Structure 1
Amino acid sequence: MNKDQVKGSLKEAAGKVQEKTGELTGNKSQELKGAARQVEGNVQKTYGDAKEAAKD
């Protein structure tokens, strides 16, 4: 695993928590920020996966 895979996974998890917190509190802004963070994390993780695959 490389740093992009790890950071991407962490961002995804944090985004899920943030989105769920916003959902539970009725805060649409937090929900949207959480969803955006998940997407950002997924992109970074995918980039890390591609880097790892290119290394092999």
Structure 2
Amino acid sequence: MHLVAIAWIYVVLLMAVAEALSAQGTVLGAFFTLLLYGVLPLGLVLYVLSTPARKRA
């Protein structure tokens, strides 16, 4: 599962860099791309998938 998370954040990071370096993109747009496509969804998925492990501990 961690490998999928690393790959997901890598792709989102590349999307954010492309947004920031684009002629029509902005750094603010890159920040929100990273936040809304990467950090928030990935955090939510990892939190939900780790719930059974927390209950066992």
Q: 1:24 and 2:21 equivalent?
A: yes
Q: Judging by fraction of residues, say which structure has more helix.
A: 1
- Per the alignment, residue 36 of structure 2 pairs with 36
Q: Structure 1 residues 37 and 23, CA, compared in 2 at 3 Å: closer, same or farther?
A: same
**Structure 1 unpaired stretches of 5+:** none
C-alpha spacing 1:43/1:12, structure 2 compared with 1 (3 Å): farther
Of residues 11, 16, 27, the one that matches 1:14 is 11
Q: CA deviation at 1:36?
A: 0.7
How many residues end up aligned between the 2 structures? 52
Identity of aligned residues (%): 4
Name which structure has the greater RCO, CA cutoff 8 Å, separation 6+. 1
CA distance in 2, matches of 1:43, 1:34: 14
The runs of 5 or more residues in structure 2 that have no matched partner are: none
Task: Quote the Cα distance in structure 1 between the aligned partners of 2:34 and 2:13.
Answer: 6
Structure label with greater radius of gyration: 2
